Structure 1
């Protein structure tokens, strides 16, 4: 059975921290691939600042060059809020030969009791909790803990730096940086 990790999120924009989490999880758990899965409308956050097509393009650019990383747009094609249970049910039906590992930050580990259909979801996927400063991985749910180098970067911080005309070099990949400039994303207009 193939072992695939899923890293979901708004990726508004995707940054180096996402790539570090994905690569460290892939290596430590000996996963074949990591699928980056941008959400359409996440149930636990406000709407993204950019559209699903733009965020998918940025993820595509961010993962280019790593043969173990893939963009999966299943959630961006769905209207309304993206619930992990619905996504995993479809993916398991389409890929019965894959064992999925769903990668979440420690902030989401604390939020697991509030996830839609969490008990049924646990039958479809193995959760992987990534340590994050200021949050605990303590939970009654079965998760695999992964240590990754702490990289204090957030999409919010990157958007604020762009608005304040500060450089974001080395916080995002060069191809994402180029796309952000070309499209003038997150700039005050």
Structure 2
């Protein structure tokens, strides 16, 4: 039985922090595989800044040298009304029925779930396990204990709380802004992705 982490994000573009985070979690949580899952451009709550094909190609370039890292475009092909994390995890549990799956997310998303901002939150929390990454200013244990939904499903294995140790939070937004204003974010993302962005004149 393998341990697999599902790591969803817009990856617009993928950054070195995304890769460092995935590597750190794979090491700390003894994961056999991390699946990079770019979100759908059909979502009504997010606006992508470049075409799906470019996000997808950059992810493949970024993870090509790590055998533990895989890319999956499942959500990219979903309609807006089908893109819910509960549905996504059900899909992967059907795809990997013998394996142990974890949804990887930041503590800010844990707060959103606790505040009732996620659809199918009860089903999602009741039927899945989570690796939660620390975010500055968020007390993860307090978030769980103050939420009836989270605390009543916390059996000691539901939430694996991870403090990465360093506050490396260079965002895709920052990188996009640097490109758009003629900045030089070269060493904030993989060299292959940097060259791809330059070649295709993305984020201009």
Tell me, yes or no, whether TM beats 0.5: yes
- Paired with 2:169 and 2:105, the residues of 1 have a C-alpha distance of 16
What CA RMSD, in Å, does the superposition of the two structures yield over aligned residues?
1.6
The one-character-per-residue Cα deviations of 1:88-115 (angstroms, maximum 9, x if unpaired) are 1111112101211111112111111322
Q: Scaled by the length of structure 1, what TM-score is found?
A: 0.92
Once the 2 structures are TM-superposed, how far is the Cα of residue 49 of structure 1 from its aligned partner? Answer: 0.9
CA contact (8 A) 2:42 2:79 kept: no
Once the 2 structures are TM-superposed, how far is the Cα of residue 43 of structure 1 from its aligned partner? Answer: 5.2
Give the number of aligned pairs.
Answer: 187
Once the 2 structures are TM-superposed, how far is the Cα of residue 145 of structure 1 from its aligned partner? Answer: 0.7
Work out which of the two has the higher radius of gyration on C-alpha atoms and give 1 or 2: 2
Displaced runs of 4 or more, over 3 A: 41-45
Which moved further from structure 2: 37-46 or 69-78? 37-46
- Paired with 1:156 and 1:95, the residues of 2 have a C-alpha distance of 33
1:106 and 2:122 matched: no
Once the 2 structures are TM-superposed, how far is the Cα of residue 150 of structure 1 from its aligned partner? Answer: 1.9
Q: Scaled by the length of structure 2, what TM-score is found?
A: 0.86
- Name the structure where helix makes up a greater proportion of residues: 2
Which moved further from structure 2: 104-113 or 29-38? 104-113
- Paired with 1:43 and 1:124, the residues of 2 have a C-alpha distance of 23
CA contact (8 A) 2:5 2:33 kept: yes
Once the 2 structures are TM-superposed, how far is the Cα of residue 121 of structure 1 from its aligned partner? Answer: 1.2
Unaligned runs of 5+ in 1: none
Aligned to 1:116: 119
